[in-house]
Structure 1
């Protein structure tokens, strides 16, 4: 599988994981009934990509206007293997997108960023997420 594309729903974000290109994107809101079931296949695909011996750069964009605590845990589960890959020498950039004036999402990004030592974590203010 080289690409996972899911349309946004009322409770789950738009997903565009272009694995072949090393570009992963989540946008919208995230409070699915079962966050583990929603994010599980994404984590599995990411782990498969990271198991590839290549060191192609990865860029992950997260632009969530809202997410619940179970989604935050799922995001951390996605972020941990990215940090491990970066520690092993793979170029990894996480771009945390937030709307101008959305201090809650910006602060959540800062909290996530504190857990990264090897991957590049960018806080990116947008006019609108």
Structure 2
């Protein structure tokens, strides 16, 4: 599976899905005009990777300063196959980054974390820049 690298824009996050290393990253802000068009290829690539690979560990780093409801749905769509892979025995860790004091992003991470029972979900508090 080829690595997916996309630079951040004013409406979409930086993407680095390094499938070979098992390290996936989303950083920045996410409110693309068409969330399905932006996230759809990422979800398809993730599903393909999960189906084709040997079960190597996956770490998904999410560091979004802001995201809209369409992006929240897309994130959940990315998280679901990761949870399924963890249920099947794969090591999956989601690391939710938030700035200390950003209660909105922290609470969103806690809400997502509540949907996981097999994958590891870590809340990562970062200092205010």
Bucket of the pairwise TM-score, normalised by the shorter protein: over 0.9
- Indicate conservation of the 8 Å contact 1:98/1:128, yes or no: no
1:56 and 2:41 aligned:
no
Taking the aligned partners of 1:48 and 1:107, their CA distance within structure 2 comes to 30
The residue that corresponds to 2:126 in the other structure is 126
Structure 1 segments (4+ residues) deviating >4 Å? none
The residue that corresponds to 1:85 in the other structure is 85
Question: The residue matched to 1:11 in structure 2 has which SS?
Answer: coil
Unaligned runs of 5+ in 2: none
The residue that corresponds to 2:3 in the other structure is 3
- Counterpart mapping for 1:1-129 below 5 A: 1-128=1-128
User: Can you list the C-alpha shifts for 1:12-39, whole angstroms capped at 9, x where unaligned?
Assistant: 0000000111000000000000000000
Taking the aligned partners of 1:91 and 1:9, their CA distance within structure 2 comes to 31
The alignment's C-alpha RMSD in Å is 1.0
Quote how far apart the aligned CAs of 1:55 are. 1.1
Taking the aligned partners of 1:3 and 1:113, their CA distance within structure 2 comes to 26
Question: The residue matched to 2:84 in structure 1 has which SS?
Answer: helix
Change (3 A) 1:53 1:17: closer
**Pairs aligned (count):** 129
Taking the aligned partners of 1:2 and 1:20, their CA distance within structure 2 comes to 8
